[in-house]
């Protein structure tokens, strides 16, 4: 019987491939084809339809990289085909192995009505069912010749990732443009045989059901006349009807299939191409929904919906009808499927604010579910942000990509840093591009970790990234798998319906506490440093723009720029997409991002400047040069209140305390800096060999070691260059200790160090500011290395088994040891503004203005058995795929070493580095709109309410991981202070109006208050 099984499987494969599938289209006639190649960027649909075209033949090459070609196909349905189903097969030159990563098309009727998208596994367009014969066919195809970047080897450098370097050579060869007869019976037979053959292959070898299927398939193959497949298809199907009708066992795993097309908002294509990818997919899916009454399709990323509305109104009209019918479902409630590690607190919140508000305003849909199948790990602060946005469920698949440890659950409660728990599901099908294959369905059932207590899982079904979404073949397979013996059951359902069932059956799911760390793609915390710097700077400027514009609106009648800030926020949120901010997109994307961030900065600087001028008073007034100092940080800075401004003191030189001596020559070479709080020694190499906390009488730098040490590693991961750094990179390291120059800097209390290595140079200025226990390190790198990793190391004389890294609305602790494989896998991790390492009574912080990646290791010194905890900041990489010029050029970083720091100090200094004070001509004192009397409670946003009511929104959180009592005092008339969610909707009864608000906060608790202006 084993030999019989092998023979039948081989026979099935050949018969399907060589006889049955080709018989789906038994007759064909060629279409005539003409083409117009758009000379530049994509054109409007009307222009493409009206353009003069020239003949082109099947077999001809077409499509320069990133070009657009408008094909017109014409023909006549043969009279002899009357009464039959006819389709057009339009093959632009597809490679069916790569749906989503090559040329694509959108088909239009002559009047500009979209028909459907063309993709490698979706090349057909229905002409008639049945036809009368003699119909004239005329279709237009907007075809994008996107180059193949992936090319099966995602580590080969290519210049195709930027239109400026991609060249003009045609990329594709027109493969087929035909009218064909579609034989429904043969097509159904193909699906029958595929479903049963795939199921048979997954069943246990000695399973009775497997042999039942084997015999039925054998009988069907015997019935098929290989010279007349169409004439014998129904008889062959009859041989399979019995095994197809056998119901699944009651204990079968239950799969909720969700139509899906995961489309990266940019990746191996630019943003402008995603606009068209989304339109093609949406047109495809609305067409499929009309044909398949059980099918349900979901789409996340409000930005992509907004693109359809703005750029493809004809597609939008069909989408809105399908949404109204409940079958084209908005999901996720975020502006884009963003990275969640690196976006700052407020930016992460605004992803939900703008995403959810779009779906509410357009469709009245308020999502419960967060949909992030492909994001590269999840920060521990995310659960309370999800809850604060009014959502309560999360779906992701990406954690299944982890390379070291297998995550122990598929359905569980995820607990964040503040104790908030979110019901979470990881689809055990282990793909967000499920095709309804037997292998995938069987894997979902056998892989499901929660057997015995739960039996529901979800399968996102359809080709993504422009692959066209769900196909009619997938829907047909799902219909057969709805209730089939030997298989999990499959039902089309919305995410909400799935989650309702999953929650109902699993009353007490397990709990996972802390971040959901992806043990892969760790280098995305460092790649494309300019993109990351642009993001951080944009976040800081948005904070300032909202704060000062709101203050000026309340204090001086300033016109708050609602629409402008809304647009800028959406631009910044878009660029937090999980292949833009992580630095894993093609060169075009990051080159464009750099320009966009510069434009955003320019606009925000104008808003900030105008608001501050409105607040600063008379530029010629005052007694000390007429200068007002603005402080956007959430902590008081010298005499300037948090969120307010004060007149500059006559003796103020920009510092906040005593002076600084030095640099003075150090015995043995180098320099000494001392400001009465901290004494710093730099040796003749320009390395920090001592940073002495004078008050604590304690050294920061580990004995015999040097801090501010630049180290360079080879960086050639096994795969996925821009994404990955593999642990073996640490095996080889070069310390960059040679200095070209170690001299006093231009500013008092500073030393300038210049180093050269390879083809690159580094210039650092180390400054000890007056009155601050902080060593500022400003680093300029002119980087021209290839496949190298640059780190900045600080070996600290601190014994710590864990360290704190700032995350959204708090911080997360990670171990410094590698006791288990889970800890060892976190050899590169994310922080926001600070990393803090401490003993119970003394600690050290490293703060930054734009870096995220870092590593922390702990070693024991043989000489004194003391512990050295080394913190290393990741500065730059030089991967060659997908952008061969990644990080080349000039970069600037600002870090600060803060000895003797508590967590509170780390929070404060992190904000100070990212929100420097501003000096504006004037003579006014500007009271903050709100004050809080506890520094542990940190304000992250002060703004006017989005509904343009004039109410003030203030958002804050407990920042140190402890309980806090604080009093919030509005410094303007209010009638009420109303607890609100992130969308500024009331959550509870208001606090009494006109009085300070007494608050009690849990550790890391996030609070939003709407301060209703006095009427």
Residues with catalytic roles: 374
Q: Which long-range contacts (CB under 8 A, 24 or more apart) does 309-314 make?
A: 309/362, 311/275, 311/279, 312/45, 312/114, 312/275, 312/279, 312/282, 314/45, 314/112, 314/113, 314/114
Q: What CA dihedral angle connects 227, 231, 234 and 240, to 10 degrees?
A: -10
- From residue 531, how far is each of 273, 585, 972 by CA, in Å? 20, 11, 39
Q: Rounded to whole angstroms, how far apart are CA atoms 817 and 293?
A: 55
Structure tokens at 676: 């009465």
Vertex 883: Cα angle to 432 and 763 (nearest 5): 125
Q: Which residue stretches of 377-528 are H helix? A: 382-388, 438-447, 472-480, 495-505
Angle between helices 472-480 and 271-291 (to 10 degrees): 50
**H-type helices in 884-957, by residue range?**
903-914
Instruction: Give yes or no for a contact between 920 and 552, defined as CB atoms under 8 angstroms apart.
Output: no
Joined together, the tokens standing for residue 265 give 């908002």
Q: Is 263 left (phi over 0), alpha (psi -120 to 50) or beta?
A: beta
Q: How far is CA 119 from the centre of its chain?
A: 25
> Cα angle at 353 between 351 and 354, to 5 degrees?
70
Contact 850, 339 (CB under 8 A): no
CA atoms of 537 and 871, how far apart (whole Å): 24
> Cα–Cα distance between 1000 and 967 in angstroms, integer?
9
Terminal CA-to-CA distance of the chain, rounded, Å?
A: 87
| Token duo for residue 311 | 């750029």
Q: Are 141 and 73 in contact (CB under 8 A)?
A: yes
Q: In sequence order, what DSSP letters do the residues of 226-258 get, joined into one string?
A: TT-HHHHHHHHHHHHHHHHHPPPPTT--EEEEE
Q: Provide the strand spans (E) within 411-475.
A: 411-415, 421-425, 456-461
The three-state secondary structure class of 820 is coil
- Identify the burial level of 444 via C-beta atoms within 10 angstroms of its C-beta, where 0-12 means exposed, 13-18 middle and 19 or more buried: buried
Closest Cα to residue 852, out of 533, 406, 461?
533
Q: Is 271 helix (H, G, I), strand (E, B) or coil?
A: helix
Alpha helices in 557-586 (DSSP H): 562-574
Q: How far apart are CA 45 and CA 315, in angstroms?
A: 12
Short-list 41, 39, 135, CA closest to 88: 135
Report H helices in 128-269. Answer: 184-202, 208-223, 229-245
Residues 961, 416 contacting (CB under 8 angstroms): no
948: region left, alpha or beta (phi > 0 left; psi from -120 to 50 alpha): left
Tokens of 74: 């014409």
Sheet hosting strand 176-182, strand order edge to edge: 28-30, 176-182, 85-91, 124-128
Chain center to CA of 900: 36
CA angle (657 as vertex; 677, 670 as ends), nearest 5: 45
Q: CA 570 to CA 347: how far, in whole Å?
A: 10
């Amino acid at each position: 019987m084993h030999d019989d099984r092998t023979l039948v499987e081989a026979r099935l494969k050949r018969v399907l491939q060589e006889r049955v599938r080709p018989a789906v289209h038994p007759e064909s006639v060629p279409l005539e084809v003409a083409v117009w190649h758009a000379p530049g960027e994509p054109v409007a649909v009307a222009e493409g339809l009206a353009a003069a075209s020239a003949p082109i033949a099947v077999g001809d090459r077409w499509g320069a990289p990133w070009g657009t070609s408008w094909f017109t196909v014409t023909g006549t349905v043969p009279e002899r085909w009357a009464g039959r189903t006819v389709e057009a097969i339009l093959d632009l030159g597809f490679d069916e192995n790569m749906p989503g990563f090559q040329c694509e098309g959108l088909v239009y009727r002559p009047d500009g009505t979209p028909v459907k998208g063309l993709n490698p596994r979706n090349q057909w367009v229905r002409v008639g069912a049945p036809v009368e014969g003699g119909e004239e066919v005329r279709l237009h195809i907007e075809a994008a010749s996107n180059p193949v970047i992936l090319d099966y080897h995602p580590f080969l450098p290519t210049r195709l990732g930027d239109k400026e370097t991609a060249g003009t050579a045609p990329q594709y060869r027109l493969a087929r443009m035909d009218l064909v007869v579609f034989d429904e019976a043969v097509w159904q037979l193909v699906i029958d045989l595929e479903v049963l053959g795939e199921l048979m292959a997954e069943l246990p070898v000695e399973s009775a059901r497997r042999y039942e299927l084997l015999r039925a398939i054998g009988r069907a193959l015997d019935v098929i006349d290989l010279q007349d497949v169409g004439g014998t298809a129904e008889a062959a199907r009859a041989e399979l009807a019995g095994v197809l009708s056998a119901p699944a066992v009651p204990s079968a795993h239950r799969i909720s299939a969700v139509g899906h097309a995961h489309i990266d908002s940019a990746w191996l294509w630019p943003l402008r191409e995603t606009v068209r990818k989304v339109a093609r997919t949406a047109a495809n899916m609305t067409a499929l929904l009309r044909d398949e009454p059980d099918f349900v399709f979901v789409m996340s990323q409000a930005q992509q919906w907004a693109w359809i509305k703005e750029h493809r109104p004809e597609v939008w009209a069909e989408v809105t009808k399908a949404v109204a019918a409940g079958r084209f479902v908005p999901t996720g409630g975020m502006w884009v499927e963003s990275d969640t590690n690196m976006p700052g607190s407020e930016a992460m919140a605004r992803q939900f604010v703008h995403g959810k508000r779009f779906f509410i305003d357009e469709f009245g849909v308020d999502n419960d579910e967060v949909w992030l199948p492909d994001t590269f790990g999840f920060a521990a602060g995310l659960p309370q942000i999800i809850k604060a946005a009014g959502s309560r469920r999360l779906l992701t698949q990406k954690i299944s990509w982890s390379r070291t440890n297998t995550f122990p659950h598929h359905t569980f409660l995820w607990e964040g840093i503040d104790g908030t728990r979110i019901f979470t599901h990881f689809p055990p099908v282990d793909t967000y591009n499920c095709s309804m294959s037997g292998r995938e369905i069987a894997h979902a059932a056998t892989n499901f970790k929660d057997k015995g207590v739960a039996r529901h899982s979800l399968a996102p079904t359809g080709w993504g990234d422009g692959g066209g979404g769900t196909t009619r073949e997938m829907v047909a397979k799902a219909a057969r798998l709805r209730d089939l013996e030997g298989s999990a059951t499959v039902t089309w359902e919305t995410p909400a319906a799935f989650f309702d069932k999953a929650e109902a059956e699993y009353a007490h799911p397990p709990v996972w506490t802390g971040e959901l760390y992806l043990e892969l793609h760790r280098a995305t915390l460092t790649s494309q440093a300019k993109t990351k710097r642009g993001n951080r700077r944009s976040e800081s400027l948005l904070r300032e723009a909202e704060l000062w514009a709101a203050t000026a609106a309340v204090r001086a009648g300033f016109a708050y720029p609602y629409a402008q800030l809304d647009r800028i926020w959406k631009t910044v949120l878009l660029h937090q997409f999980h292949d833009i901010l992580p630095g894993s997109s093609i060169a075009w994307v990051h080159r464009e991002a750099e320009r966009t961030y510069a434009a955003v900065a320019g606009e925000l600087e104008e808003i900030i400047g105008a608001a501050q001028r409105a607040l600063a008073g008379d530029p010629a007034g005052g007694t000390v040069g007429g200068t007002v100092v603005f402080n956007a940080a959430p902590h008081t800075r010298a005499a300037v209140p948090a969120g307010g401004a004060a007149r500059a003191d006559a003796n103020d030189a920009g510092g906040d305390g005593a002076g600084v001596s030095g640099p003075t020559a150090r015995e043995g070479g180098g320099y000494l800096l001392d400001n009465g709080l901290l004494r710093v020694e730099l040796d003749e190499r320009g390395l920090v060999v001592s940073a002495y906390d004078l008050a604590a009488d304690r050294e920061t730098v580990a004995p015999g070691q040097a801090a501010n040490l630049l180290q360079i590693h080879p960086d050639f991961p096994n795969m996925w260059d821009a994404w990955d750094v593999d642990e073996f990179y640490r095996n080889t390291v070069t310390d960059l200790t040679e200095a070209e120059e170690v001299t006093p800097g231009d500013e008092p209390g500073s030393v300038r160090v210049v180093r050269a290595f390879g083809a690159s140079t580094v210039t650092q200025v180390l400054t000890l500011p007056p009155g601050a226990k902080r060593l500022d390190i400003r680093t300029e790198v002119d980087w021209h290395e290839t496949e190298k990793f640059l780190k900045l190391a600080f070996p600290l004389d601190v014994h710590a088994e864990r360290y704190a890294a700032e995350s959204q609305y708090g911080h997360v602790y990670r171990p410094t040891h590698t006791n288990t494989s889970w800890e060892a896998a976190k050899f590169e991790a994310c922080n926001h503004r600070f990393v803090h390492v401490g003993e119970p009574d003394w600690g050290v912080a490293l703060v930054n203005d734009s870096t995220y990646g870092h590593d922390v290791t702990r070693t024991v010194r043989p000489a004194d058995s003391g512990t050295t905890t080394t913190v290393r900041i990741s500065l730059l990489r030089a991967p060659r795929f997908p952008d061969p010029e990644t990080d080349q050029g000039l970069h600037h970083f600002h870090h600060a070493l803060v000895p003797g720091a508590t967590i509170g100090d780390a929070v404060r200094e992190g904000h100070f580095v990212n929100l420097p004070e501003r000096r504006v001509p004037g003579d006014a004192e500007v009271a903050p709109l709100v004050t809080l009397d506890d520094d542990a409670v940190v304000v992250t946003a002060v703004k006017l309410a989005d509904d343009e009511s004039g109410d003030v929104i203030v958002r804050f959180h407990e920042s140190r991981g402890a309980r806090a009592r604080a009093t919030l005092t509005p410094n303007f008339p209010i009638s009420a202070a109303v607890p609100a969610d992130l969308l500024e909707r009331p959550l509870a009864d208001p606090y009494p109006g006109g009085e300070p608000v007494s608050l009690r906060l849990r550790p890391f608790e996030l609070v939003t208050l709407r301060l209703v202006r006095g009427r």
